Structure 1
Amino acid sequence: MSDFIEKVLSRNVLYTNMPLDLEIDEGYFKGSYKSILYEFDQKIYIAKIGLPIHKGAYLKIPDGTKLKVRAYSKNAVYIFKSTVYSMGKEGKVRYLIISLPEIIYRIQRRRYARIPIAEEGYFYLKKDLESSKNEVSEKYRFMSKDFSAGGMAIVTKKKLELGQKILINLNLKNEIILENFEAEVVRDIGKTPLGDYTYGIKFISVDKRFEETFVKFVFKYERQSINGIL
């Protein structure tokens, strides 16, 4: 993996409203849960985070529970060990108080790290869909080769041109579902031994919400490469 790993001061890189993943390795609450960083105290190194919800109910995680925490920014993932100190409530907001190390690990991502992933999908030519009006546009099958937050490589029987716009439809592990997601052909990689075409495509107009979702998806499937850090 080409990502760069370094130690950093938590107070310099963490900020409020960062999305978090909490991992519990043992006991009744074993699993991975989503949370958010509400606030943290730089003097005594504790943080207030959102109480995780599982199947529609708050998880009352006991004091002393050990956590592995991943915090996500646009270009990096921060990981550290933590311990649950207490649980609280302010108005309708429920939260956990956890320990926050002074030193944490930053995994500085190259722009749009790629993971190999093979999933079948289909695409439309954007110009066909726009000109067809009420007619049914032809769709073309493809197989993905890799995926990143910025684009992917696909294999298809359809010959495409550089700069051509297509609308991607793809289900990635039931975690990311792309429906008529606009992309542009940016690289002709060549032909397969069976004569199919391989192209690099770039996603167009990826907003912050989608980009964070894509980055988290990619990191999840790279996680085995970095588990030895914690």
Structure 2
Amino acid sequence: MVDFKIKLEINQSIEIIENQITYKSSIQDIKEDYVLIGMPISGSRYLLMHPKSIIEYYMMNEKEVFKCRSVVLGRTNEKNLQLAMLSFPDVIERVQRREYFRLPIVMEAKFFPLPEGRFYMDLKDVPSGYFKKLENTITVDISGGGIKIISKQNVKKDNYVLLSINIPEEINVLCKVIRCDFDNMNKNYKLALKFERIDERIRDNIIRFIFSKLREQSRLFK
């Protein structure tokens, strides 16, 4: 555990990742000895929460994410709502700001450097023909704010790049190059890309993907 206390608030978001499924919930009430949350749900599927079991979850505020652990104390029903009673959270890990936590990961991706000197407001400005020119590559790391990929060519800073990744659904993102470093050992370039004017729903999907992979990694080392 880390020596840090979370400021709990009503409606604070909670995400539990179980078997690669993200169950969402939020704090409904804060009692003297426990916290009440809505029964975590994914689509129409509720997460089974057995009394005395221990759950790990991510709790979010506007700036940060905390990996927490609580004991399930039981269930209750208030105002026709099924609620779970949790012990006050112990913080396992304090994660960086949501969009900037960077996960090292090697996975397949596709990209295409867009013509130099062009400005793109969003993906709608990118001619459809460029989507047919996407080239295979691999990633180095990813965050909610950007991604690092391998490139055989030098792409100048501030140029735009079209990117396609699977998380696991395929998404297309407009990116801008913020750094291009030559790797002498592997004789290629590492492009640090920033997501440009990304839809916040897509960013949230990327962040959920990152936390899912973090959960998988934590299981490997238990």
Unmatched runs of 5 consecutive residues or more in structure 1: 24-29
**Of the candidates 191, 196, 206, which is equivalent to residue 214 of structure 1?**
206
Alignment RMSD, CA only?
Answer: 3.7
Give the 3 Å change call, closer, same or farther, for CA 211–38 of structure 1 in structure 2.
same
1:119 equivalent in alignment to 2:112 = no
Give the 3 Å change call, closer, same or farther, for CA 55–205 of structure 1 in structure 2.
closer
Task: Provide the residue aligned with 1:95 in structure 2.
Answer: 83
**Of the candidates 179, 184, 187, which is equivalent to residue 179 of structure 2?**
187
Report how many aligned residue pairs link the two structures.
211
**Of the candidates 91, 94, 103, which is equivalent to residue 107 of structure 1?**
94
Give the 3 Å change call, closer, same or farther, for CA 135–211 of structure 1 in structure 2.
closer
Amino acid at match of 2:25: I
1:163 CA drift (Å)? 0.7
CA distance in 2, matches of 1:136, 1:31: 29
Amino acid at match of 2:54: K
Unmatched runs of 5 consecutive residues or more in structure 2: none
1:82 CA drift (Å)? 1.9
Note if contact 1:192-1:198 (Cα within 8 Å) is conserved in structure 2: no
Counting only pairs closer than 5 Å after superposition, residues 1-16 of structure 1 correspond to structure 2 as 5-8=2-5, 10=6, 12-16=7-11
1:208 CA drift (Å)? 4.5
CA distance in 2, matches of 1:100, 1:78: 13
Task: Provide the residue aligned with 1:70 in structure 2.
Answer: 58
TM-score normalised by L of structure 1: 0.71
CA distance in 1, matches of 2:212, 2:92: 16
